[in-house]
């Protein structure tokens, strides 16, 4: 299953970009990043895709819960999971309504570049959990 990050704004070449790259290179599943301008339309989802919204009002899911969702979608034959990161003003009502799942990294508002780095780390962590890799520890 393809893990596809669709993010508003350009990350550039700074420390945040290096951090995102570092984590995404570790993910053994196919990964794609699409950067959109703030005014560009979000591309329609591919057939069989799942849409996950990163939104401060979303569910505060644990790493194991994220892994379990990815596992279920993969095992159900879903071809792609799209993770939408909004612009400074967040997501519109239509985007929220169309999402299959909405998650938050806590109730705080995070800068876009940090949210992208945290998502990349969570994708690495989730796929590591599913692979039985010892990276994730609990307790």
Q: Binding site membership for S-adenosyl-L-methionine: which residues? A: 54, 86
Binding residues: 54, 86
| Residue 130 to residue 112: CA distance in whole angstroms | 27
CA distances from 99 to 26, 38, 45, 84, 133 (A): 27, 19, 10, 9, 30
End-to-end CA distance of the chain: 30
Residues 6+ apart with CB under 8 A from 76: none
Both tokens assigned to 96: 């929220």
């Amino acid at each position: 299953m393809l893990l596809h990050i669709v993010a508003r704004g350009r990350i550039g070449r700074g420390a945040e970009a290096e951090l995102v790259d570092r984590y995404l290179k570790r993910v053994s599943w196919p990964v794609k990043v699409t950067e959109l301008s703030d005014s560009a339309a979000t591309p329609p989802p591919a057939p069989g895709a799942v849409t996950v919204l990163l939104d401060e009002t979303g569910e505060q899911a644990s790493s194991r819960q994220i892994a379990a969702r990815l596992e279920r979608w993969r095992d159900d034959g879903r071809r792609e999971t799209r993770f939408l990161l909004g612009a400074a003003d967040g997501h519109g009502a239509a985007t929220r309504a169309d999402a299959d799942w909405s998650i938050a990294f806590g109730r705080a508002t995070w800068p876009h570049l940090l949210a992208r780095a945290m998502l990349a780390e969570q994708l690495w962590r989730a796929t590591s959990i599913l692979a039985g890799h010892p990276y994730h520890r609990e307790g």
